[in-house]
A = this chain, B = another copy of it.
């Protein structure tokens, strides 16, 4: 397997989850440590300097949000990625998490496959360094994940979630044609099934907002973003 030296710190009060995650990630060659609560997490993180911190939202004493805020204060951890493990895809939780400085989140139950995928993509990103944020700038378009907004010729438009994810996905691989299947998988996931025209409608709304020139249709294949 891939011998990445990416360091991961798991923080969760549930021993079972710690074990499952540790098992799966160690198996993939990651350097894994764990902590049972926020206080211990802070202590271990200072020494271990993990690249990635998996943080449970619900924990006794100090919850994940609070722990994340404090982790963010630590100078040496400024480059670490914090990923939340949230019990549900509650909007509140997600927003609060991002507010506290989280870089990503995963909904429980954690599926090892998804987790590994995420971890590996993040660790690849870390290795390739200079990725400051997940923001994208193309021509006169600025796509900003932090605020879920797009700045297009000086005016900022806040996009709904689905529209943003769709645009972000297209723009993150400019020039590449993304098939409807790929889009479905990335934006909607495998458990949701929506009709054929749903993507078109979102595309239309995006075009309405940012202009026609960016998103090109490749009939029978998919869509692609061009600068």
Contacts and interface: CB of A to CB of B under 8 A. Distances in A.
Interface in A170-207: 173, 175-177, 181, 184-185, 190, 193
B158 A218 contact: yes
A214 interface: no
Interface residues of A, number: 41
B91 A109 contact: yes
A112 B99 CA distance: 7
B109 A146 contact: no
A193 B118 contact: yes
Nearest to A106: B191
Interface in A105-126: 108-114, 117-118, 121, 124-125
A47 interface: no
A48 interface: no
A76 to B, nearest CB: 22
Given A125-B181, A146-B175, A193-B113, A20 B216 contact: no
Chain copies in complex: 2
A213 interface: no
Contacts of A94: 109, 111
A198 to B, nearest CB: 12
Interface string A132-158: 000000000000001111000000001
A190 B118 contact: yes
A61 B190 CA distance: 30
Contacts of A219: 160-161
Given A147-B175, A160-B219, 14 more contacts: A20-B95, A99-B112, A113-B193, A121-B185, A124-B181, A125-B181, A146-B176, A147-B177, A148-B177, A148-B218, A148-B221, A148-B224, A149-B175, A161-B219
